[in-house]
A = this chain, B = another copy of it.
Amino acid sequence: MKALVYDGELRLVGDYPRPEPPPGEALVRVILAGICNTDLEIMRGYLGFHGVLGHEFVGMVEVCAGAPELIGQRVVGEINAACGDCPTCRAGRPTHCPNRTTLGIGGRDGAFAEFLTLPVVNLHPVPDQMSNRVAVFTEPLAAACEITEQVHLHPTDRVVVLGDGKLGLLVAQVLGLTSCDLLVVGRHAEKLDILRRRGIPTALTDEARDVQEADVVVDCTGHPDGFLAARAMVRPRGTLVLKSTFHGVNQVNLTALVVDEVRLIGSRCGPFAPALRLLARDLIDVESLIDAVYPLDEGLAAFERASTKGTLKVLLEIG
């Protein structure tokens, strides 16, 4: 099968072996997939992953011995494949299973290929009336929902989202539904416009230099610098939610966190069902986030486009 493989460099391979679903897993024909910043970070050395990239997808179940009713069903898929058997899994935290593999990120080939396999328990049927272009955003939108899963946002909270990239725009839309006093700070007027059209207040970075005393600040910048900016905006005893993953470490004044009693919360993958509910109710504008759609054959060009500063979501049309 065709696949976009990273093994130190990114290559389009024509004869990559088609995966065989082991017991408990389904074979999924990928229809549409999205390029995420994590894919770009992997190509900068993040996590040291080699294999088929890609973890945002919508596809069709082709083979599924354990759950034949899924065959022919359009699905999206949670990306962490847990062992189900270790203390972490049994404690109800399968996305943190130490034995997990992660689609296109760790130990498991990803979605930028004609086929992928995932455990049946990871798959979520897509409502019939939902388009592929919408459904492909389920995974990143679930990551946005993880914030409200972890943190109680009060309607009276002053909340700042830093970053107007793909993730920031989804996070902002999810948090905006909570009725909190939200401000989204970014570097690109045209991206912030996507939010402004939906009535979400925004500011350019330069206009937001004086923002401080926020109850909650969410760093979605994807950059090491985002932490310092977010830190400066959060009030004592406030909450700083970290969504950015990048290759490298930060200099952090831990003592200042102690003195200000700041709460830092790392936040990663989220629950799919809430994300699908938001998409089904058309409460999130994802269409405006699509920058371009490329066929898999032009995968290298798609990555070049996705790597260009300021580009929003680049999709790969596969099946």
Q: Using a CB–CB distance below 8 Å, which chain A residues touch chain B?
A: 46, 87-88, 93, 96, 146, 150, 213, 224, 227, 235-237, 242-255, 257-268
Question: A265 contacts which chain B residues (CB < 8 A)?
Answer: 261, 263-264
Given contacts A93-B237, A236-B96, A237-B93, whether A254 and B244 have CB atoms under 8 Å apart is yes
In the complex, what's the smallest C-beta–C-beta distance from A217 to chain B, in angstroms?
A: 14
> If the complex has contacts A93-B236, A237-B96, are A245 and B268 also in contact, measured as CB distance less than 8 A?
no
| Chain B residues in 8 Å Cβ range of A247 | 255
Report the minimum CB–CB distance from A147 to chain B (whole Å): 11
Contact residues in B for A263 (Cβ distance below 8 Å): 263-266
Residues in B neighbouring A46, C-beta threshold 8 A: 255
Minimum CB–CB distance from A143 to chain B (whole Å) comes to: 10
Tell me if A246 and B255 are in contact (CB < 8 A).
Answer: yes
Per a CB cutoff under 8 Å, which of B150, B251, B255, B266 touches A244? B255
A163 CB to nearest B CB, Å: 13
Inter-subunit contact A236/B88 (CB<8 Å):
yes
Q: Which residues of B contact A249 (CB under 8 A)?
A: 251-254
CB A45 to nearest CB in B, in angstroms, measures 12
Closest 3 CB pairs of A and B: A96-B236, A264-B264, A257-B266
- A258 closest partner in B (C-beta): B266
